[in-house]
Amino acid sequence: MDSFNTKAIHGNKLPAFIQSKVTPIYQTSVFSFNSLEEMEGYYSGDSPYLYTRVGNPNSDELANVTARLEGAPAGAAASSGLGAIMAAVLAVAKSGDHLVAAHDVYGGTFYMLKEELARMGIETSFVDFEDKQAVEAAIRPETVILYTESVTNPFLRVENIEEMAAVAKKHDLVFIVDNTFATPYLVQPYALGADLVVHSATKYIGGHSDVSAGVLCGKEEYVELARSRIVNIGLNLSPFESWLACRGAKTLGLRMERQSANAQKAAEWLTSQPKVKKVFYPTTVSDKGNGAIITIHLADDADESGFFRSLGWIQLVPSLAGVETTVSWPFGTSHRALSLEEKKAVGVSEKTVRISIGIEEAADIIGQLENALAGA
C-alpha cells in the first residue's frame, strides 16, 4: 500500500466483528466491563480502552492515519495544534531546559514557546534558521530541542530539514518539525530526519473548517511520552472531532493537489499586480506542488481596509486551509500577540495578507482577488 491516496483511505483495521464500512463514532466517555477481572485486564494490556481521556478508537484512528501518511511508526492525537506542540515539547523538555526555535514560526507557537514555557522554567532562543552557524551558536549545554516548521507561517520559507536534522543529531537534540502547511502529501519530515512531526489537524488534515484538532507522530519513545502528557494534562481530542478529522484526511491528497495548482496560478498572477508590493510563494517545497498558501504585502499606497471590504465571496477569517479560498490579516490575528518589534523582525505589517487558496476554479479565485485589489 504505497500510494498516498490509498494509504489515506485504507489501512485502519476495525475488529473483525464490526461490519461497518466507516469507523463508528465512539461517543462515550467510558468503556464498560463485565467483571473486575475484565477491568483489571485493561491494566495488563488485554483490553485497549478504559476512559476516553486515556484512549478512544476514533482518536487512535486519527493518530494512526497521520503516522501512516508521514511514514512514522507511531502517533497521538491532541485537542489542537498547539496542544500537539505542547505535548511534543513536554515529552522532552523539563524545567531548566532550553529550546532553539526558528524565529519565523507561527505567532501562536512563538507566544507559547516564549511566554507559557517560560512560566514552566523552559527557555527558548529564537534564531534565523537560514543561518546554520547562528543556530549552532545558540545551542547551550541545557538545550534539548531544535524546533522549526517545514514551511513557515506566514512567509513560507522552506526549511532545509535535512540540514537542521544533521545539526540536531550532531548536538544530541530532539528535532521537532511542524508540518501543517506542507502536509505529508508534499513533505515527510520524519523521513528527512525529524524525531517528531506535529500538525494542526484543524487545517489541511481536517480540511473543511469544522474541527479543532492536533496530531503528532514520530519515534515511538517520544510519542509514548507525548501521549502520557496528553492524558495527564487533559489535552485529549474528542471522539467526534477525531472522526471528522479522519474523514477529512481521506481526501487530503486530492485537495492538496488541486489547491496547490490553484495557488501556483494565483501567485503568478499576483506578481504582476501594481497594488501588490511583494508576493511570497515557495518554489522548492515538492515536485507535487508548493502548497496552497500565498502571502502578499500590499503596496504602500494600498488601502488594506478597502481590500478586505472588496473580497466578495472570499471570506476574511483568522485561520486557513478549508476547501474555500479565504484571507487573513496576520498583523491582527495569528501574530497579534507579538510586540511591534517582534512583528517587524519577522516582517509582519499592516500590509501583510495571507491567502489560503481553495478548490474553486482558479479563474474565479483570481477574479475575486482582482476585485479586492481594485478596492484597495
Residue 178 annotated to the active site: yes
55 contacts: CB under 8 Å, gap ≥ 6: 48, 49, 231
Residue 229 annotated to the active site: no
Tell me which of 7, 42, 51, 53 is the catalytic residue: 53
Tell me which of 68, 97, 190, 203 is the catalytic residue: 203
Tell me which of 97, 104, 178, 195 is the catalytic residue: 178
Tell me which of 26, 104, 106, 343 is the catalytic residue: 106
Residue 190 annotated to the active site: no
Active site residues: 53, 106, 178, 203
